Structure 1
Amino acid sequence: MSAAPTWDPGQYLRHAEHRARPFTDLLARVPLLPRDAARIADLGCGPGNVTVQLAERWPTARITGYDNSPEMLARTKEHEGPLAGGGRLDFDHADLTSWTPTETYDLIVSNAALQWVPGHLDAFPVWLDALASGGTFAFQIPNNIDAPLHALMRELAATARWKERLADVLRPEDSVHGPLAYLDRLARLGCDVDVWETTYMQLLAGEDPVLDWATGTGLRPALTALADDPEARDAFVAQYRDLLREAYPTEPYGTVLPFRRLFAVARKRA
């Protein structure tokens, strides 16, 4: 992939409820942490709207959300500050492709971010080394790179008109691994592991809602690459929109976007 995409927090948050639900489901499986006054890291926190769930569940914890997008971090300011239980919620800049913990954490969590980190399996040993005994590493990632949502985008980018400008820009097909790969890696690193998948049948409303969804996430690299040529950008988006309309037809009750996600909760053995 080329340079990191430019993010639009407002666009991302247009589907905040659907994007937050998997994080809620992930946290429901996180076991008790080693300390009441826990140290927690949220990797790829985005605008911070789901990091708030950590503060609600562990109000005595010191929580830091990390992200590499200035636009996303600017939106986190409204969430940071002291917590009711005596803890604190803060946010900081970090690039997950090179993030190395400098302290001990009781929980390292990530919501829909690792798919943007090439070679993220190789980072697991370093991150787990930073966990306290009995601490937890938990994450969820989209596992639908083969779905029309992404496949059509890649196929369009590979056509004669676009391949010169969009070659190697979009997320590759191997950006997420199968469930067994994550279970095997985490188990071999000395964790008790729970891995599962869920397909959410997301019911979206409005005109071209699947395009609207993609504009907040998967389409960002292409939009960034074409940002200096608005005419070309709009043409690519229009072609992609037409493909999505056929793949995800609108019904009287809305448009269904099936969305498969992969979850892992790995507890470091005491």
Structure 2
Amino acid sequence: MSWNPEQYLKFAGPRLQPALDLMARLPADLAAPLAVDLGCGTGSATLRLAERWPQAEVIGVDDSADMLARAAPACSRVRWVQGHLGHWRVPSPAGLIFSNAALHWLPDHVTLFPTLLSQLAPGGVLAVQMPRNFGAPSHQLIHATALDGPWRARLAPLVTPPPVGEPRWYIEQLAPHVTALDVWETEYQQVLTGPDPVKEYTKGTWLMRFLQALPPDEAAAFEADYAARVRAAYPPLADGRTLFPFRRLFIVAVR
């Protein structure tokens, strides 16, 4: 899947806020001689990590060269690395592995999370935020559109169960491996502007993989069909802006 930094950054503020909220819940006394931002994207959160730990080695890892190209000029002190998030390993035990809106793209969380914890130094922290909005109209209508058109055969394999489990599942999986665990959810009441803002928001992430699976003419028709459906599901407020509630899951685990 190819990422479009410009599309993603159309809603840079709402996308960054959960990362800032996750950072705010990190232990105040956390020592992080090595801090890793796994799935760093354009580096907005990585720069905040570098500011918080000015003496640390900070590594930003992403599998998208396009996203890293936007990140690299932002801070020369960060080591930007292109690599598959599920396969990349820290060069030495880390004080912090931070991941904002990335791990839901990876399968097999029952193996993934213990593997990440094993790469921490004792007392190190795994801090994760993942979208959990897959039951909302914004995402359900992507699947409905995929299964209701001439593209069905091509897109049906992409209609999969939600990639992020319930909070209880992560508590049960992680508790045996950690000394402290904090898991919570926040539903952000995002107020968006511009034409078809919910469609434009999802076009930067979940919708993107469906569009990229189609030839250009079908992709345009699919996008228009989805836009009409999601426009009806999220009618504008009285002032013309659009309210887009978005749920996210947070995890702070101490090894």
TM-score tier after normalising by the smaller chain length: over 0.9
2:60 is the counterpart of 1:65: yes
Contact 1:203 1:257 (C-alpha < 8 Å) held by counterparts: yes
Does 1:232 pair with 2:232? no
Structure 1 distance, partners of 2:105, 2:252, is: 19
Secondary structure at 2:158 match in 1:
coil
Q: Do structure 1's residue 178 and structure 2's residue 166 form an aligned pair?
A: yes
Work out the number of aligned pairs and report it.
254
Alignment of 1:93-104 (within 5 A): 93-104=82-93
1:200 is aligned to 188
- Deviation digits for residues 135-185 of structure 1, max 9, x if unmatched? 100000111110001100011111241211112225x32300110111111
Could you tell me the TM-score, scaled by structure 2's length? Answer: 0.95
What is the one-letter code of the residue matched to 2:87? S
Q: Is the 8 A contact 1:200 1:258 kept in 2?
A: yes
Per the alignment, residue 20 of structure 2 pairs with 24
* Contact in 2 for aligned 1:26/1:139 (Cα 8 Å): yes
CA distance in 2, matches of 1:34, 1:236: 47
Amino acid at match of 1:263: F
What one-letter code is carried by the residue in structure 2 that aligns with 1:242? A
The question of 1:215 aligning with 2:203 is answered: yes
**Shift of residue 96 of structure 1?**
1.6
Pick from 259, 262, 267: which aligns with 2:246? Answer: 259
Residues 1:164 and 1:248: Cα distance change in structure 2 (over 3 Å): same
More displaced 10-residue stretch of structure 1: 192-201 or 72-81: 72-81
Q: For structure 2, which runs of at least 5 residues remain unmatched after alignment?
A: none
Letter in 2 for 1:197: E
After superposing the two structures, state which structure 1 stretch, 106-115 or 27-36, moved more.
27-36
Q: Which one-letter code corresponds to 1:154 in the other structure?
A: H
1:159 is paired with a residue whose SS is coil
Q: Distance in 2 between matches of 1:202 and 1:163?
A: 31
RMSD: 1.4
Deviation at 1:51, TM superposition (A): 1.2
Matches within 5 A, 1:54-203: 54-82=49-77, 89-170=78-159, 172-203=160-191
Other-structure match for 1:243: 229
Unaligned runs of 5+ in 1: 83-88
What amino acid is the match of 2:230? L
- Which ranges of 4 or more aligned residues in structure 1 deviate by more than 3 Å? 32-36
2:48 aligned with 1:53, yes or no? yes
How many Å separate the matches in 2 of 1:238 and 1:174? Answer: 24
For the 8 Å contact 2:151–2:218, the answer to whether it is kept is no
Partner SS, residue 167 of structure 1: helix
Deviation at 1:33, TM superposition (A): 5.5
Counterpart for residue 8 of structure 2 = 12
Distance 1:137 1:62, change over 3 A: same
CA–CA distance in structure 2, aligned partners of residues 6 and 150 of structure 1: 19
Report the Cα offset of residue 230 of structure 1. 1.4
Amino acid at match of 1:176: V
The answer (yes or no) to whether the contact 1:33–1:107 under 8 Å persists in 2 is no
C-alpha distance in structure 2 between counterparts of 1:174 and 1:8, whole Å: 23
Instruction: Name the TM-score, length of structure 1 as normaliser.
Output: 0.90
2:166 and 2:155 map into 1 onto residues whose CA distance is 26
